[in-house]
Amino acid sequence: DPTIAFLASTEDWSSGDDSWLFKLSEIRAATNDFSNTTKLGQGGFGKVYKGKLKGGRQIAVKRLEGCSNEDPNKRVLLDWTKRYKIIKGIARGLLYLHVDSQLRLIHCDLKPANILLDEKMNPKIADFGTARLFPSDQSSERTINIAGTFGYMPPEYVQHGEISLKTDVYSFGVMVLEIISGQKNGFLDIFGSSAHLASYVYMFHI
């Protein structure tokens, strides 16, 4: 059986314990082969089971359905309708922040980790810890405090500290590339080096 990682929850788990890596056979034994009698609940990406390890510790295991972190061909794939819905929803959210709200709000750290999806796959923009508020008549500013996530920040922000509506638009564009291609930004290219998705796509465009 392959060794897999799983989400565990126990009251007495300490940082000094062994790795949270178990063989599939161990997890099957702990959950009675993922029996319905051990099922705690179900979410959008899988079911949650309670289990007991050989040592007697109680655990909770989330079993992802139709998903594999190791095999790209077995990852959960969204159909084009859902992808378009997510892209359109994020764009609408940005339109509100940039244009329709009373103050212009630049998120400054737009990335997949800050996009939450509800059960109907409606996107919600989250984490405004680095956001900037502009009056309605202001469109840009410069700062020496660069904050954000590499790979999602536009060159003018990284190099010159220039913040504008284009800051979020660039980040949105990178996410669109990820959603369309199914490729994560900062993936490993054929040479084993980390590749910036926008640069990678631009190279083929020209």
Residues in contact with 103: Cβ distance below 8 Å, sequence separation at least 6, in sequence order: 133, 134, 135, 136
d(CA 156, CA 53) in angstroms, rounded, equals 53
Say if residue 37 is exposed, middle or buried (CB neighbours under 10 Å; 0-12, 13-18, 19+): exposed
Say how many residues make up the chain. 206
Choosing from 109, 118, 137, 168, the catalytic residue is 109
Residues in contact with 65: Cβ distance below 8 Å, sequence separation at least 6, in sequence order: 45, 46, 47, 76
Cross-strand partners of 151: none
Q: Please give the C-alpha separations between residue 82 and each of 6, 16, 91, 149, 199, in angstroms, as whole numbers.
A: 27, 42, 14, 26, 26
Q: Is 109 a catalytic residue?
A: yes
Report the number of secondary-structure helices (H) and strands (E) in the chain: 5, 13
Find out whether 111 is annotated in a ligand binding site: no
Show which residues are catalytic. 109
Annotated binding site: 62
Annotated binding site for ATP: 62
